Structures are given as structure tokens and as C-alpha cells.
Chain A
Amino acid sequence: DAGITQSPRHKVTETGTPVTLRCHQTENHRYMYWYRQDPGHGLRLIHYSYGVKDTDKGEVSDGYSVSRSKTEDFLLTLESATSSQTSVYFCAISESKRPARSTEAFFGQGTRLTVV
């Protein structure tokens, strides 16, 4: 398995509180991604990073921010958590900007976040 670790694996938080999820990789891949997964929606891209301090928005970025201060870590922050952000969050990494034939995106195990 690719070396991706997400932490925490489970979290329950209250509405209005800040939450930070961490993705750590040991593969030295350039590209890192945060997705959320909800029933009936599949996986949707929140933010991605194409290098240290280089990030950009995905299709569902509202309410989320990210930071990447070093290659191996990509942080996802919910500045003020809302119940609509209850979801399972997945981090993914890839070597290339565009997943190529031999370089697919590897996914972490996921973080289940519940906002009450």
C-alpha cells in the first residue's frame, strides 16, 4: 500500500468549532488532494496541491482551507464546522498532475467527521 496516513480516523466536533485534518505521505509525491465522500454523491474534490505552498480549489471548496508547508503533509481545515460538513474525508496522492497509465492516485483510509 502507498504510504498515506490520515489523522484522526474519526472525530466528533461541535458546530462552530475549527477542525484540522492531516494527511501525511511517505511517497514524496508532488500532488495531494482532499476529497469528501457522501451518500449519493460519490467523491468530490475539495482542494488539491501541486507543490509546497501551491494549492488550488476543487468543486466543493467553500468552508474549507488547506495548507502545505512541506511535501509530506497536506492539512485540511474547517474554520467553523457546520453539520453539512459531516462526511468521510479522503486524502489522495499522485506523482503526476494527470493520473497517467502507470501512476494512479492512491487514497488514504479516510477520516469520518461528524459535526453535531
Chain B
Amino acid sequence: GESVGLHLPTLSVQEGDNSIINCAYSNSASDYFIWYKQESGKGPQFIIDIRSNMDKRQGQRVTVLLNKTVKHLSLQIAATQPGDSAVYFCAENMSGAGSYQLTFGKGTKLSVIP
């Protein structure tokens, strides 16, 4: 819950603006990526995913961009709303022996200013 937000990079945006949250992943063998949203006191909630054969995927108000060359993932949230305030995690997954495991980033705290 509340302790998740400590020690995290924080992004503050004005309501209505677009948000961009970045993530550097660690394993060049990872071929599947997920963004999760975690509100205070709750478990992570799936937002959007992308496979490594794509470089962009769009959902409702969200877009994920993948740059495999530099192992970078970003989440763009359009017209950010107060309800978007949360901690956002990227997670990576790879095929093969480790395919059961999701490796999570440390998270970014998004604060929306009304």
C-alpha cells in the first residue's frame, strides 16, 4: 500500500495533460512486456501488454512503446485524470525455462494535479 510509493521516482502532471512513464528492462531475451497500475492499498492491475514483435500497441487512452535496441519501454497516458494517480510498474517475461516468471521494475509514482 502506502509504503510502495516511498523511494520511487515521481511524475507529476496536470489533469488533462499527457503522461509518459518510462522503464528500462534488463533482459535482452525478454519478449513479452506488461504495464501494471497499483493504487494505494491494492494489488497491481493489468493495463496493457506488448510482444517483442511489435513496437507500439494502443489501448483505451494508453499506448505502450517498445524499443528493443535500447531495452526501453514507455507507457503513454492521454488526457491524464485524477484516477490515474498510482504507481506504475513495467514487467518483463521471456519464453523458455523462465517463462513462468514476471520480472518487475521498481515502479514510478504518477501524481495528477487537479
Stretch of B13-21, B68-76, B103-111 lying at the A interface: B103-111
Q: A107 on the interface (CB 8 Å rule)?
A: yes
CB distance from A56 to the nearest CB of B (A): 8
Q: Which of A43, A90, A105, A108 has the most CB of B within 10 A?
A: A43
Residues B51 and A101 in contact, CB atoms below 8 Å apart? yes
Residues A43 and B89 in contact, CB atoms below 8 Å apart? yes
CB distance from A79 to the nearest CB of B (A): 23
Q: Scoring B residues 1 to 35 as 1 if CB is less than 8 Å from chain A, else 0, what string do you get? A: 10110111000000000000000000000001010
B43: which of A31, A41, A109 is its contact (CB, 8 Å)?
A109
Residues A98 and B42 in contact, CB atoms below 8 Å apart? no
Other contacts beyond A50-B100, A99-B34, A109-B41: 14, CB < 8 A: A39-B3, A42-B104, A43-B89, A43-B102, A43-B104, A88-B1, A98-B32, A98-B95, A99-B32, A101-B51, A104-B34, A105-B102, A107-B44, A110-B41
A39: which of B6, B42, B95, B104 is its contact (CB, 8 Å)?
B6
Q: Which 5 A-B pairs have the closest CB atoms?
A: A107-B43, A42-B104, A104-B46, A98-B99, A43-B104
On chain A, the residues within 8 Å of B91 by CB distance are 43
Q: A42-B107, A43-B89, A109-B42 are in contact. Are A101 and B49 (CB under 8 A)?
A: yes
Q: B101 on the interface (CB 8 Å rule)?
A: yes
The complex places the Cα of A43 from the Cα of B90 at a distance, in Å, of: 10
CB distance from A109 to the nearest CB of B (A): 5
Number of B interface residues, CB 8 Å?
A: 28
Q: B45 on the interface (CB 8 Å rule)?
A: yes
Report B48-100 residues with CB < 8 Å from chain A CB: 49, 51, 89, 91, 93, 95, 99-100
Q: Which of A41, A106, A110 has the most CB of B within 10 A?
A: A110
Q: A48 on the interface (CB 8 Å rule)?
A: yes
On chain A, the residues within 8 Å of B41 by CB distance are 109-110
